[in-house]
Amino acid sequence: MARTMRHQYYALNKPYGYLSQFSDEARHPGLLKLELGLPKDVYPIGRLDRDSEGLLLLTNDNRFKSDMLDPEGEHERRYWVQVEGDPKETDLRAFERPMEISIRKNDYTTRPASARVLEGLELPDRNPPIRQRLSIPTAWIEVCLTEGKNRQVRKMTAHAGFPTLRLIRKGFGSLDLDTLAIEPGKIQELTQEEAYQALRNA
C-alpha cells in the first residue's frame, strides 16, 4: 500500500541577503546556510528578493502552493517599507489607483492597492544598515497588495516618488510576523488548519 505524504507547512522570517531558494547562487547564500533542518520535499512558496526580509512560507503541499500563488485568488500580502522622503496620506492615495510599471522589461498595470504611514515605528537596524542620506528624511509605510510581481513594491514606491530603502514582508492573510513571533533566520511549523485559514483570510 502506498504511503500518504504528510503535508507540512512552515513560516520563515527570512533575513536580508539570503535567496529564496536552498542553493547558493553567484556567491549569494541560499536557505541551506540557515540550517533550518527542513524535510527535503519542502520548498518556498514564491520568492522574496535577496535584499528583502520577512515572512516566507514553505510547504510540500502543491495544492496549497498553487492556491497561494493563483493571481485570481487576490491573496493579501502586507509589507512594511522604509522609504526615502516624507510621504503624507494624500501622497499614498496613488497606490489606490492602477500604476504603470515595468516587470521584467514588460509594461504592467498594477491592481489597486493600499498604503498608509506608520507613525512612530521603531525596528532593530538591518545588518548591514541601509544607505541613508543625512539630508533626506525617511519614513515607514505599510503597503498591502493582492498580487506579487517581481520587485513590485519597490517599483510602486519609486513611481509614487518615495524610493524603497528597506522592505519587510509582514504578513500573508491571517499569518503575521507579530503574532508568529519568529526571530530572523528562524522557522515555525504551522498546522494544516493554520495554513489554510491564512489562505481563506488572505
Q: Say if CB 88 and CB 117 are below 8 A apart.
A: yes
Going by their DSSP bridges, the two strands 138-145 and 114-117 should be labelled as: antiparallel
How many Å apart are CA 79 and CA 58, to the nearest integer? Answer: 18
The packing angle between helices 62-69 and 192-201, to 10°, is 20
Q: Say if CB 31 and CB 19 are below 8 A apart.
A: yes
Helix, strand counts (H, E) of the chain: 5, 11
Query: Cα–Cα distances in Å, from 103 out to 107, 109, 114, 134, 150?
Result: 6, 9, 20, 31, 6
Q: Is 51 a catalytic residue?
A: no
Fill in the amino acid letter for 174.
S
Catalytic residue among 49, 51, 67, 176: 49
Q: Say if CB 9 and CB 55 are below 8 A apart.
A: no
How many Å apart are CA 156 and CA 92, to the nearest integer? Answer: 10
Catalytic residues: 49
